[in-house]
Amino acid sequence: MREQIVILWFKRDLRVVDHAPLAAAAACGLPVLPLYIVEPDYWRQPFASSRHWHFIHDSLADLHGMCARLGQPMAVHTGDAVAVFKKLHSAFDVTAIYAHEEIGNDWTYKRDTQVLAWCAETGIALHEFPTNGVVRRLKTRDNWAGIRNRRMAQPCVATPAALTPLGARNTGFELGALPDKADALFGAPPPGAVQRGGRAEGEKLLQSFLTTRGRHYTAHMSAPGLSEIYGSRLSAHLTWGTLSAREVDQATAKCQAQLSGEAARAWKRPLAAFRSRLAWRCHFMQKLEDQPSIEHKAMHAFFDGMREDSFDPELFAAWQAGRTGYPLVDACMRNLTANGWITFRMRAMLVSFASYDLWLDWRQTGYVLARLFTDYEPGIHYSQLQMQSGVTGINAIRIYNPVKQSYDHDPDGAFIKKWVPELTDVPSAFVHEPWKMSRAMQQESGCIIGQDYPEPVVDHRAAVPAAREKMARIRKMQGFSDASKMVHAKLGSRKRTRRKARSGARAPAAQLDMLNLLDG
C-alpha cells in the first residue's frame, strides 16, 4: 500500500519564511515532500537564460538545507510538471499539492492549467495561496490597493517547527539531484557575472540597505554606477522568492518606526520611497494577472501591428551589442550584459531608444532584456515594456533623450568610460556626443568615429518627431479613446494625481513612482 503524502511545490518562492503553502502542508498531519521541478521546455523559451538558473541554483542549494533542517530534504526532479506529478503519484498516494499562485508568463500559466486539470481528474486537491499583493480573479481595480495593503499588514506566516518526513519504508526514495549550473539544458553560459542567490544573501542585502546603503537611496537611485551601491539590489530576491514582499515591507516599516531625531530626517524620504516602489511592484504584477495576454499583445489593441513590419535586424544587432553610437545607451547595454542588473531609469531609456529611435518592436527587444535581467519578473517586465514603448493607451508618451540623460546622470562620463573603453581618452566635454569632435581631436584621443567607435545609427532629433507622428496617427483613430477607457478600467492605477499648478511643475507623485519603479 502506498504511503499517503502531500507535496509542497516550490516555484518562484524559494524560502521557508512567510510561506503559507509550507505552513498549511506542515499542519495537515501527513508526510510532506518538498519539491522543485526543473522543466526543460521552460528553459527553451526565448525569455529564459542560464543567468536566471545560476541565481535559482544558489537559492535552491540554500533551500535544500532549510528543508533538511525541518526534517524532510527537498526533491528535485527534471521533466514536464504533470509527468513528474504522475510519477510521484505512482510511488505515493498523493492526497494534495500545496503551492503559491505563480504570477508568471503565458508558459507558466498554461502549465498551471494543465496541472490543475490533472489534479481534478485524479482527485488530488490543489491548494494555492496568494503571492504578494496580487489578487487572483479580481473583479475590479477600485478596491485592489486596500486588499494589497491589508495583506502586507498581516503578520508574516511563521515557519513550522518541523515537517513530517516520509515513512521509513520510503527512505530509499530517489530525491533527485540539482542540475549543475553549467548544464546545457539552461543554454549558453551567462555573458557576465551573476548576482549571488539564496536567502542568506538576500537577508544581508536587506540589512545593509536598511542600516547604511539606503540612506542615499533617493539621491542616487537613477544614476548608473551609483545605483548599484545605493539601490536595495533586492529585486532578484523578490523575483525568485528568497524573500517575500511582505517581510521586506514590514522590515522597512519597522525601521521607519524606530527612527528619531536626525536619523529620522535623513531616512524618512528614502524609506518611504522604497515602500512606495514595493507597492508599485505589486501593481504591475496585478496587470499581468488580470490580462495575461500583455506578454504578447499590446494593452491597447490599436497599437498591435504598428512596429512589427518595420523590424531592422542591423539596428537590433547594434542595440543588443551596445554599438549604437550613443555612449550612454551603449554603456548601459554593456553594463547590463556584464552584470545582469541596471537601474530602472536606464532600463527605461534602453527600451525608449529601441522603441522610438530605432522603431523596434517591444516583443523582440523584451526577450533580449528578459534573458539579461537576473530579476526577470514577467508582471513588471511586460507592463514596463509596453509603457516605455507607448502602447498602453493610458500612459503619457515618454521618450528619453539619450544625450540629455547622459549629461544629467553621468556628467563627467565616468560610467561611460568604464563600459565604453573606446572613449577612455575622449575629453569629458565630448564624451556624451563624441561625433562632434574634430578629426584632429579624434586622432588625438585615439577614437576615430566610424572606425573605433560607431557613428550614431540614427539621428535622435529626426527619429523622435517621426515616431511621434506615427503614434499620433493611431491615437487619432476613431474609437481609440473609448478603447483607452476600457484599458484603464481594467488595468489602470486608481491612485489620484494632482494637476500641475504651473508650467514646469514637478510630475505627480504617482507618475514619479512609476518612472522609478525598479530603481531599487
Cα–Cα distances (Å) from 329 to 349, 432, 456, 468, in that order, read 8, 10, 11, 20
Per-residue pLDDT tens over the stretch 135-146: 999 999 888 999
Q: What is the pLDDT of residue 242?
A: 98
For 119-132, what is the mean pLDDT? 96
Contact 435, 325 (CB under 8 A): yes
pTM given for the model:
0.93
Separation between Cα atoms, residue 484 and residue 491, nearest integer Å: 10
Per-residue pLDDT tens over the stretch 199-232: 999 999 999 999 999 999 999 999 999 999 999 9
Helix 378-389 × helix 344-352 angle, to 10°: 50
Instruction: Name the band, by pLDDT with cuts 50, 70 and 90, for residue 35.
Output: very high
Give which of 127, 63, 48 is closest to 367, Cα–Cα: 48
Longest Cα separation, the chain: 86
CATH number of 4-129: 3.40.50.150, 3.40.50.620, 3.30.1950.10, 1.20.120.610?
3.40.50.620
How many other CB atoms are found less than 10 A from the CB of residue 260?
8
Whether residue 507 is predicted with pLDDT greater than 80 in this model: the reply is no
Q: All 3 cell numbers of residue 264?
A: 529620522
Whether residue 495 is predicted with pLDDT greater than 70 in this model: the reply is no
Whether residue 357 is predicted with pLDDT greater than 90 in this model: the reply is yes
Question: Any idea what DSSP says for residue 355?
Answer: I
Place of cell 513588471: 380
Q: What is the pLDDT of residue 119?
A: 98
Question: Any idea what DSSP says for residue 424?
Answer: T
Tell me how long the chain is: 520
CATH architecture of 294-497+504-515: Orthogonal Bundle (1.10)
